[in-house]
A and B are shown apart, each in its own frame.
Chain A
């Protein structure tokens, strides 16, 4: 019984320590950010890696999420004879929840893993130590551009996801199922406010920072072995996903 208690205490302690270390890591990165933005080239390269290369998966997923939303929404709404509200419902669902959350989950799977394993492998093959020996700060040279690239990319990817998703809704609802095009758009415009768009983009920005932070932190602190890099990659996806959903609840509660 005491053994279990001690174990619980130890794991709680290590959890708190990880939270502390991650926060310190984030503050360190934020302190370096102004200088990091001056080394524009490195950041652009990472926006390419994290953002531009994720575009295909984001757009494909967005299209199909939107199409499913169109089908399900139509099926539900036509029971009440209000299928004209399909645009409103789908737009609000995409803007507020589906867009930011699904984008963040896909980003964690597509880009977060590659960031974590790349940095972890640098750690395992002593490239980071080699940089330190050459008086190059790996935080500045390796970690920061990847963090910034990810944080910049996610809000943009979110916007693309939502726009493509709406196209998918429109495709199924208006073109396939025959919802009236005029009332689809006008009801949507009547109900959607600028605050809904900002909410989606703020969520995207927060998730972007969170997912990128988890990825670079796990990679940077990976055990320098093949197994350690693998574990860091897994942890990145798991922690990013859970963190995204928890943050989503908190942000929704604040902004609703």
Chain B
């Protein structure tokens, strides 16, 4: 029965190689590093007027260091605001309670992420607590329209157009 054993050996190697490849794809090239060890992490909520293009899985960073991920995004019908749940790595368990969370854009065309600027309170954020100080995403169209309208107003104030 030697040939049969060789077949078993190569088949086993092939199957193991296949699963090793799947494991590699799942763990090494996707952004799942936090979901594997969810036990050592805690959740924090934040309410925003406008989250722009923020997506679940986006990084939460403090001084540029990734400390967590956006776990879920929902809408609170009572407050009429977007509710973003952040999952923060348990290693960073002493973030002051009055820290503020802002939505930033990485680079000109990059994805959006949440930046936390530490405050000075003695109390720390813990599981289920809410970040009170937030800054919404900057929507480029709003900025442009604000700029254009302010220019138009200025134009009207200094020299009224001939039609009027």
Name A residues whose Cβ lies closer than 8 Å to a Cβ of B.
44-45, 47-48, 51-52, 55, 91, 95, 153, 155-157, 159-160, 162-164, 166, 185, 188-190, 192-194, 196-197, 200-201
Other contacts beyond A45-B7, A159-B18, A194-B30: 5, CB < 8 A: A48-B11, A160-B21, A189-B29, A189-B33, A197-B26
- Shortest beta-carbon distance from B19 to chain A in Å: 7
Interfacial chain A residues near B32, Cβ < 8 Å: 194
Closest to B15 in A: A156
Q: Which residues of B contact A201 (CB under 8 A)?
A: 22
B21 contacts A163, C-beta separation under 8 Å: yes
- Please name 9 pairs of A and B residues whose Cβ atoms are closer than 8 Å in the assembled complex, sorted by A: A44-B7, A47-B11, A51-B15, A156-B17, A159-B19, A189-B29, A190-B59, A193-B57, A196-B30
Q: How far is the CA of A200 from the CA of B111 in the complex (A)?
A: 24
- B1-46 CB contacts (< 8 Å) to partner A: 7-8, 10-11, 13-15, 17-19, 21-22, 24-26, 28-33
- For residue A188, which residue of chain B has the nearest CB? B29
Considering only residues 103-126 of chain B, those with a C-beta below 8 Å from chain A are 111
Q: Distance in Å from the Cβ of A196 to the closest Cβ of chain B? A: 7
Bound Cα distance A164, B59 (Å)? 29
The main secondary structure of chain B at its interface with chain A is helix
Q: Let me know if A193 and B21 touch, CB within 8 A.
A: no
Q: Which residue of B lies closest to A163 (CB)?
A: B21
What is the interface of chain B, defined by CB distance below 8 A to chain A? 7-8, 10-11, 13-15, 17-19, 21-22, 24-26, 28-33, 57, 59, 111
Q: Are B21's CB and A159's CB within 8 A?
A: yes
> Could you tell me the distance between the alpha carbons of A201 and B23 in the complex, rounded to whole angstroms?
12
Q: How far is the CA of A92 from the CA of B16 in the complex (A)?
A: 24
Q: How far is the CB of B141 from chain A (nearest CB, A)?
A: 24
Q: Does the CB pair B29–A55 fall under 8 Å? A: no
Contact of A51 among B11, B31, B33 (CB under 8 A): B11
User: Would you call B30 and A189 a contact (CB within 8 A)?
Assistant: yes
What are the residues of chain A within 8 A of B14 when measuring CB–CB?
47-48, 51-52, 55, 153, 156
CA gap between A4 and B78 in the complex, in Å: 69
Report whether B31 and A48 are in contact in the complex, using a CB–CB cutoff of 8 Å: no
Bound together, the chains give a CA A156 to CA B18 distance in angstroms of 4
Task: Decide yes or no: A48 and B29 within 8 Å by CB, A156-B19, A157-B18 being known contacts.
Answer: no
Q: State A196–B30 Cα separation when bound (angstroms).
A: 9
Residues of B within 8 A of A196 (CB): 30
In angstroms, Cα B99 to Cα A53, docked, is 59
Q: Which residue of A lies closest to B11 (CB)?
A: A48
Using known A-B contacts A159-B18, A163-B24, determine if residue A52 contacts B29 with beta carbons closer than 8 Å: no
Chain A residues with CB under 8 Å of B10's CB are 48, 52
| Complex CA–CA separation, A160 to B16 (angstroms) | 10
Shortest beta-carbon distance, B59 to chain A, in Å? 8
**Which of chain A's residues have a CB closer than 8 A to the CB of B18?**
51, 155-157, 159-160
